Copies of this chain bind each other. A is one copy, B any other.
Amino acid sequence: MTTRTTAPRRVAPRRVEKETAATTVYHALKRDIVHGVLEPGHKLLIDQIAERYSAGTNPVREALNRLSSERLVDREDLRGFFVPPISLDDFRDIVRTRCWVEGKALEESIRNRTEAWEDAIILANHRLQNTPIHYYEHTEPGMPPPDNSPWEERHRTFHRALIANCGSRHLLRFADELMLLGERYRFISMANSYPRRRSVDEHQAIVDATLAGDTKRAVEALQGQYQLTLKIYEETMSGE
């Protein structure tokens, strides 16, 4: 048997991973609900949604049904779908639960720590620090709100990296769900509260304690950040 001179390069049997319309609508709806584009309490009319995302009614229904199981839309038989209302109580619940879940997940991640996990945190933190935040105050009046999606994306990645080593798929899934629910409140009510936060320092403190293996300090730093977010939200609410 002779070696081939031209590498046969088996064409990767990569499934093209085509997306169905239902999945496309699912992601679009999810994004628009989390970003507050679709307002809390708003009724989601099938036909409107279908037209909005250029899809049929059937894919829309499938997307809405998926989201209803993630508590990102409310559903009532024969009455339709709604964007879930927001409330201070709900946000308090989300933050508190997130503190428990991610606190535990961080603790376990540190217990199981590996070099690869630590590297991923360093990297995620570095990338996050190098991603600028565009403040609303610096844009001209009448301009659309600034797009911070790169920062948002890296922020999510950073927090996922912290707890990624906890060893529990289910706990990570819960953390992800809660992160999403929490982000919704940030987008809806606190779009412009970035500036008052020394988030770079906060993140650095979490990273330092985590890499030092100081579980107690790391968890407290993480939870402290979430509780600060809640505090700002409460002030924002009472100030209006």
Binding site for B on A (CB under 8 A): 17-20, 22-23, 58, 61-63, 65-71, 77-78, 90, 93-94, 96-97, 100-101, 104, 167-171, 173-174, 178, 181
Contact = CB atoms under 8 A, between A and B. Distances in A.
A93 to B, nearest CB: 5
Contacts of A23: 77
Dominant SS among interface residues on chain A: helix
* Shortest Cβ-Cβ A-B pairs, 4 listed: A69-B69, A65-B65, A97-B170, A62-B65
Given A58-B58, A100-B104, A20 B77 contact: yes
Chain copies in the assembly? 2
B78 A173 contact: no
Contact of A18 (B18, B77, B90): B77
Nearest to A169: B93
B65 A97 contact: no
A167 B61 CA distance: 32
B68 A168 contact: no
Contacts of A93: 167-170
A63 B94 CA distance: 27
B96 A168 contact: yes
Contacts of A20: 77-78
A68 B169 CA distance: 15
Contacts of A169: 90, 93
20 contacts: A18-B77, A18-B78, A20-B77, A20-B78, A22-B65, A23-B77, A61-B62, A63-B65, A65-B65, A65-B66, A66-B66, A66-B69, A68-B69, A69-B69, A93-B167, A94-B170, A96-B168, A100-B171, A101-B174, A104-B104
A157 B169 CA distance: 26
Nearest to A104: B100
A77 B168 contact: no
Nearest to A89: B169
Given A58-B58, A65-B66, A93-B167, 14 more contacts: A20-B77, A58-B61, A61-B62, A62-B62, A62-B65, A63-B65, A65-B65, A66-B68, A93-B168, A93-B170, A96-B168, A97-B170, A101-B174, A170-B178
A163 to B, nearest CB: 13
A106 to B, nearest CB: 12
Nearest to A96: B168
